[in-house]
Amino acid sequence: MRKWPQRLAGLLAAAVFAVLASARAETCQLALKRLEPMSRTQMFMGSQPEDVLFRMTNPQHLFMQFGVGMVTDMTKAFPKVVKKEPEKYESERPFRGVAKLGSQQFGFVLDAQPAKAESESSKSDAKESKPEGYGRLLFDYNHNGDLTDDKVVEANPPPQGILSMGMPAGYSHREFPRIDVSIEVDGAKTDYSFFLTVVSQSSGGFSYATAMFNAAAYREGQITLGGKSRRVVLLDNNSNGRFDDKFGVFRSDSGGDLSPVPGDVLLIDPQTGKQANPLLQMALGMDGDENRHHVSKLVNVDGRFHELKVSATGDQLTLTPSSVPLGKLANNNKGFRAVLFSDDQGFVKLTGGQSEPVSVPAGEWNLLSYTIDRTGYEPAEKPEKERSLLETLTDALMGGASAANAMPRYTFVSARATGECKPVTVRQGKTTAMPFGPPYKPVVKVAFVQGDGQVQLALSLVGAAGEVCSGLQVDGKQPPPPEFTITGPDGKEVESGKFEYG
């Protein structure tokens, strides 16, 4: 009989140890991984590489317009960063730019490739072939302000065949091999890589070019959460050489859509290889992928909130179970995934359904975006006639028909909040309703007024909270475009037609 108290004490000690272990911070080291060069125009053609999701980053855009005396912050910064250039360039309009990588600014020049030597038969034309586009990169690898002591990088061959069809005259699209460089981030030296794509257009006196720097390096490691080892991948999503950038929100004065300001992205146990569907990921966005998280103050992993800390170079990551007080949010939509943001607590992702409210830290929260996923739903009987967009969408999302014999075809609606969406206050231990989703109503506005008395109309599907639909599929395809008819005061038809997606 004396053994029972000892055994009970042992069980209690084990339970206490398990609670303490689950509440402690977990830190992991993340190794630098480089993406192999691959044409981004071919990313979704043919077989997908294992790391296709790690290539889905936002580029650092650098724009230059020629011939209009345009002065930008980049053109002002170039002479401060670059002190020595080649005496002559092949291009009449070299693209001089500055890219910020980590804590440093790197000067570069995009130049044209030398014209190919003319054959004997073409010399009689008396026309010299001129280089088009930007096929050479002069990049200040050693960050000494001198572009004459670094290797010149030649672009990959331009797109040929079907990839070049339909390109307008004077248009050029060039991609460069991966650029590996050493950078400094908050005083720490680290390796980094990026891909560079440049698009240019020249027609008459108008000429412009856009250089796009995309991260070609990511961080990867393993972390233990709840006693389980998890794969962690950290993406430099805004392609600036740092891995600790938090997301923000852009609010327009006109009250339009709320737009996320890209920060970096944390993937936990990401689906890769054949499991990954990059086209669907792009359609659904951040809220559609349960493994994709914003780098923010809090991260929701398997329904539990953790405080996130990331080193600027991305080599170390810490997740600590949060002790923030919780309340609950209720929404009637089945299978929703939503992104909320708070001015003081950052971004959180929620996954929920009709049965139970979902936990969320107490405080004021705003809706940013959501996806309602009804994949697998299929009516038991096919409709005799083609249904309208609203009928099809309402039936699919609200379960108006039987889901028997369901097939795995994508059915979802995605939406983005606008300035019309009101924040909700979540109180500790209380449940608060956050309405969004169906029923949707069509709203038609004048998008553009032409000089000849004509107008361009825009149709939006607006949800219960004032959000606007941004993506829609039913059974793997878009519903038929909605039709419209405009009548005058006398009831006679003035105009009719169909709205177009996009």
pLDDT at 391: 59
Q: Which residue has the higher pLDDT, 382 or 314?
A: 314
Q: Tell me how many helices (H) and strands (E) the chain has.
A: 4, 33
Q: Please report, for the chain, the start and end positions of each structural domain, with discontinuous segments joined by +.
A: 26-31+219-436, 33-39+46-115+131-215, 443-498
Q: Which of 196, 242, 233 is nearest to 216 (CA)?
A: 196
Q: Which residue has the higher pLDDT, 395 or 352?
A: 352
pLDDT-derived band of residue 120, with 50, 70 and 90 as boundaries? Answer: very low
CA dihedral 240, 242, 248, 251 (to 10 degrees): -20
Residues 479, 442: Cα–Cα separation, whole Å: 14
Q: Which residue has the higher pLDDT, 53 or 175?
A: 175
432 three-state secondary structure: strand
End-to-end, the C-alpha distance of the chain in Å comes to 76
pLDDT at 127: 43
Q: Which helix (H) or strand (E) holds 20?
A: helix 3-23
Enumerate the β-bridge partners of residue 67: none
Residues 205, 352: Cα–Cα separation, whole Å: 55
Residue range 182-234, pLDDT digits in tens: 999 999 999 999 999 999 988 767 788 999 999 999 999 999 998 899 999 99
For 429-445, b/e burial (b = at least 16 CB within 10 A) is eeebebbbbbebeeeee
For 389-405, b/e burial (b = at least 16 CB within 10 A) is bbebbbbbbbeeeeeee
Does the pLDDT value for residue 355 go beyond 80? Answer: no
Indicate the residue type of 217: A
- Asked if 311 and 413 touch (Cβ cutoff 8 Å), the reply is no
Q: Which of 108, 68, 117, 114 is nearest to 89 (CA)?
A: 114
Residue range 415-425, pLDDT digits in tens: 999 988 999 99
Q: Which of 229, 230, 264 is nearest to 245 (CA)?
A: 264
